Structure 1
Amino acid sequence: MAGRTAQPKLRKPVFVKVDQLQPGTIGHTAIVKVLTAKTVLNRARPDVNHKVRIAECLVGDETGVIVFTARNEQVDMMKPGATVILRNARIDMYKSCMRLAVDKWGRIEVTEPVDFVVKEDNNLSTVEYELVSVVDG
């Protein structure tokens, strides 16, 4: 048994609601519906011989909505009307507002439709945040 390391125990994911998301946080797992998806960048990159695609998608649950930034192959999964599970998602700040994203450490899964009405009048991406310096005193 010497030299073997124990496998880390897998933890059950803790699902968060959209209205619980905070600036600068990572590791979120959420089930959301895709309301809209708008391609904002679709450009070929000759240096790496593939296309770069970015879409801004409005996603939400029964507590609110937020803009999700989908990149490359993620764009294909983020179709309006789809229900997706975002695993290990993070909050990025763009022009002082929150955006939800899944990087290479996370995963997007299309899942069965869920039975909730999206609360569209609580858009977390329209709230501006101000960077405040904290001085220990």
Structure 2
Amino acid sequence: MAESTTGMRKPVFAKVDQLRPGTSGHTLTLKVVSSKMVLQKGRSDGPQMRQMRIAECLVGDETGMIVFTARNEQVDLLKPGATVILRNAKIDMFKGSMRLAVDKWGRVEVTEPADFTVKEDNNMSLVEYELVNVVEE
């Protein structure tokens, strides 16, 4: 069997202003601006009771901000003022606006404080998108 010489790829870090609807596989370094719990309820599946938690966190970098939907354990990591690295993040659409999310295929990690200032006047989640079907004749 031939040995492969290709290693793991270096991640290409994206910026908030480069995010577009329906895209995935993003790696970003972001600061958490705010966090608000939107759903917290107990769930019984099996022997232990588990909490289901969802928080909407405003995160950003020097190019803009976006709403990140944090689920369960992710809620504990995204505290205001923290700097996080999101790996394999995707864009979900909610009522015509973009939301950043990390599912089971991605990862959220707290990292060293970043030295950039969040550009708070460019909130990408406030841009409303409309799906348009193009019919070719």
Q: TM over 0.5: same fold?
A: yes
Deviations, residues 49-79 of structure 1 (Å, cap 9, x unaligned): 3110000000000000000000000000000
Task: Please report how far the alpha carbon of residue 136 of structure 1 lies from its aligned counterpart in structure 2 after TM superposition.
Answer: 2.6
1:31 aligns with 2:26: no
1:111 aligns with 2:111: yes
1:100 aligns with 2:100: yes
For residues 5-84 of structure 1, what are the structure 2 equivalents within 5 Å? Answer: 6=4, 9-48=7-46, 49-84=49-84
Deviations, residues 9-67 of structure 1 (Å, cap 9, x unaligned): 31110000000000000000000000000000110012353110000000000000000
**Counterpart code for 1:114:** A
Q: TM-score, normalised by structure 2?
A: 0.93
| CA-atom RMSD in angstroms | 1.5
Percentage identity across paired residues of the two chains: 70
SS of equivalent residue, structure 1 residue 27: strand
The count of corresponding residues between Structure 1 and Structure 2 is 135
- 2 CA distance for matches of 1:46 and 1:116? 42
Structure 2 residue aligned with 1:133: 133
Task: Please report how far the alpha carbon of residue 134 of structure 1 lies from its aligned counterpart in structure 2 after TM superposition.
Answer: 1.7
Runs of 4+ in 1 over 3 A off after TM superposition: 4-9
Task: Please report how far the alpha carbon of residue 6 of structure 1 lies from its aligned counterpart in structure 2 after TM superposition.
Answer: 4.5
- 2 CA distance for matches of 1:55 and 1:7? 42
Q: TM-score, normalised by structure 1?
A: 0.93
